[in-house]
Amino acid sequence: MHTQRIYPNVYAFLLTFCMFRPKIDLRFKRTAFFIPFLNTFNNYQTRQFIILLPENTIECKNVKHRIMKANCLKLILLLLVGLCPASMIYGAQGGVFLYTPYTKISVPPGQTITYSVEVHNNTSAVQNAAINIVGLPKGWTYSLKADSWSITQLSVLPKDQKSFTLKVDVPLKVNKGVYRFSVVAAGLAQMPLTVIISEQGTYQTAFSTDQPNMEGNSKASFTFNANLKNQTDAQQLYSLTSEYQRGWSVIFRVNAKETTSAQVEPNGTQSVTIEINPPANVKAGKYKIPVHAATSTTSASLDLEVVITGTYDVELTTPEGLLSTDITAGSTKKMNLLVKNTGTSDLSGISLKANAPADWEVTFEPAKVNVLAAGSSTTVVATMKASRKAIPGDYITKMTASAPEATSTAEFRVTVKTSILWGWLGILIIAAVLGGVYYLFRKYGRR
Query: pLDDT tier at 32 (50, 70, 90 boundaries)?
Result: very low
Q: Tell me, which fold does domain 204-308 have in CATH?
A: Immunoglobulin-like (2.60.40)
* 298-326 confidence digits (pLDDT tens): 999 999 999 998 888 899 999 988 888 88
Tell me the percentage of the chain whose pLDDT exceeds 90. 52
Q: Which phi and psi (to 5°) does residue 282 adopt?
A: -70, 145
CA angle 281, 286, 288 (to 5 degrees): 100
Judged on CB neighbours under 10 Å (0-12, 13-18, 19+), 230 is buried
* Peptide linkage before 22 cis (omega within 30 of 0): no
If one compares 133 and 55, the residue with the highest pLDDT of the two is: 133
* 416-443 confidence digits (pLDDT tens): 887 665 566 678 888 888 887 777 777 7
Query: pLDDT tier at 9 (50, 70, 90 boundaries)?
Result: very low
**Alpha-carbon gap, residue 276 to 239, rounded angstroms:** 18
**CA separation, residue 279 to residues 211, 270, 275, 285 (Å):** 22, 29, 13, 13
* Encoded amino acid at 228, one letter: L
SS (H, E, C) the chain: CCCCCCCCCHHHHHHHHHHCCCCCCCCCCEEEEEEEEECCCCCEEEEEEEEECCHHHHCCCCHHHHHHHHHHHHHHHHHHHHHCCHHHHHCCCCCEEEECCCCEEEECCCCEEEEEEEEEECCCCCEEEEEEEECCCCCCEEEEEECCEECCEEEECCCEEEEEEEEEECCCCCCCEEEEEEEEECCCEEEEEEEEECCCCCCEEEEEECCCEEEECCCCCEEEEEEEEEECCCCEEEEEEECCCCCCEEEEEECCEEECEEEECCCCEEEEEEEEECCCCCCCEEEEEEEEEECCCCEEEEEEEEEECCCCCEEEECCCCCCEEEEECCCEEEEEEEEEECCCCCEEEEEEEEECCCCCEEEEECCEEEEECCCCEEEEEEEEECCCCCCCEEEEEEEEEECCCCEEEEEEEEEEECCHHHHHHHHHHHHHHHHHHHHHHHHHCCC
Please answer whether residues 312 and 406 qualify as being in contact, where contact means their C-beta atoms are separated by less than 8 angstroms. yes
Please answer whether residues 376 and 346 qualify as being in contact, where contact means their C-beta atoms are separated by less than 8 angstroms. no
If one compares 17 and 438, the residue with the highest pLDDT of the two is: 438
**Alpha-carbon gap, residue 291 to 303, rounded angstroms:** 6
What's the pLDDT at 71?
58
If one compares 259 and 27, the residue with the highest pLDDT of the two is: 259
What's the pLDDT at 40?
35
Class of the CATH domain delimited by 96-197? mainly beta
What's the pLDDT at 87?
33
What's the pLDDT at 445?
65
* 182-216 confidence digits (pLDDT tens): 999 999 999 999 999 998 887 889 999 999 999 98
What's the pLDDT at 228?
96
Please answer whether residues 361 and 390 qualify as being in contact, where contact means their C-beta atoms are separated by less than 8 angstroms. no
What's the pLDDT at 422?
59
If one compares 210 and 331, the residue with the highest pLDDT of the two is: 210
If you average pLDDT over every residue of the chain, what do you get? 80
What's the pLDDT at 47?
35
Please answer whether residues 126 and 155 qualify as being in contact, where contact means their C-beta atoms are separated by less than 8 angstroms. yes
pLDDT at 266 over 80: yes
**Alpha-carbon gap, residue 229 to 204, rounded angstroms:** 9
**Alpha-carbon gap, residue 135 to 184, rounded angstroms:** 10
pLDDT at 81 over 80: no
pLDDT at 245 over 50: yes
Q: Of 169, 239, 227, 175, which Cα lies nearest the Cα of 203?
A: 175
Please answer whether residues 312 and 283 qualify as being in contact, where contact means their C-beta atoms are separated by less than 8 angstroms. no
For the chain, give every domain's residue range: 10-90, 96-197, 204-308, 314-420
Provide CB contacts within 8 A for 307, sequence distance 6+.
Answer: 213, 214, 215, 216, 285, 286, 287
CA angle 305, 310, 312 (to 5 degrees): 130
Please answer whether residues 361 and 388 qualify as being in contact, where contact means their C-beta atoms are separated by less than 8 angstroms. no
**Alpha-carbon gap, residue 165 to 114, rounded angstroms:** 7
Domain 314-420: give its CATH architecture.
Answer: Sandwich (2.60)
What's the pLDDT at 201?
80
CA angle 44, 46, 49 (to 5 degrees): 160
* 377-421 confidence digits (pLDDT tens): 999 999 999 888 888 888 999 999 999 888 999 999 999 887 665
The answer to whether domain 96-197 and domain 314-420 are alike in fold is yes
What's the pLDDT at 10?
44
* 54-77 confidence digits (pLDDT tens): 443 334 344 445 555 555 555 555
